[in-house]
Amino acid sequence: MVRVIGRLVLFVVGLSGAAVAEEGKLASAHNTKDDKGLSERGKKVVVEMNRLGMMVDLSHASDKTVEGVLGASKAPVYASHSNCRSVTNVTRNLTDGQIELIAKGGPGVVAIGADYDGRIKTPTSLGNVAVLSWMLERDLKSADFDTAGLKGALYGNFIEYWKKIEAAAAQAAPKEKAE
């Protein structure tokens, strides 16, 4: 399944989302009553994703799934839309320890968004996605981000992360025999 998807279009897969599609055969999501973590099949999927240069997304993963993915992946992983559990204590968010382990795999990637496709109620000041550009200008600059820091937060760290994914895929790819 991953091999076909990877060659077509999809290069980012959240295992907990895939787990729902596979009826929990790959991994447990954060809201699973019986957290079984990453299954043996799920470990194979992570290894194949690494080989194909696919990003492994931990958002919505259970604690045991996060632990399993971090143990199985040879490439850096990331959480595309998670928060810090110490700030907002919900199971969907990551613990400080999980964030530290994820950060060991590569540069921190800051993603700025407002979950416009999954919100229950949007604050009035965030009426639509166009508001984000002025928020970035105002808030990041007032937080004393220099130009390099802004570039890193907005896209540079992600590019560095992607390069690490590609390097891990190159190392995992089978070597062709010289003729």
16 within domain boundaries: yes
What mean pLDDT is predicted for residues 1-18? 47
Q: What does the longest C-alpha to C-alpha distance in the chain come to? A: 65
Tens-place pLDDT, residues 121-132: 666 776 676 777
CATH number reported for the structural domain that contains residue 66 in this entry: 3.20.20.140
Predicted local confidence at residue 103, as pLDDT: 86
What mean pLDDT is predicted for residues 67-88? 90
118 within domain boundaries: yes
Range of the domain at 124: 2-172
48 within domain boundaries: yes
25 within domain boundaries: yes
Predicted local confidence at residue 149, as pLDDT: 76
91 within domain boundaries: yes
Total number of domains constituting the chain: 1
Interatomic CA distance for residues 25 and 106, integer angstroms: 28
| pLDDT at residue 138 greater than cutoff 90 | no
**How high is the mean pLDDT of the chain?**
76
Q: How confident is the model at residue 12 (pLDDT cuts 50, 70, 90)?
A: very low
Distances (CA, A) of 47 to 40, 151, 162: 11, 31, 17
43 within domain boundaries: yes
Q: How many other CB atoms sit within 10 Å of the CB of residue 74?
A: 13
Tell me which of 143 and 115 has the higher pLDDT: 143
pTM of the model: 0.73
Tell me which of 77 and 153 has the higher pLDDT: 77
What amino acid occupies position 49?
A: M
Tens-place pLDDT, residues 31-52: 888 889 998 988 998 998 898 8
178 within domain boundaries: no
145 within domain boundaries: yes
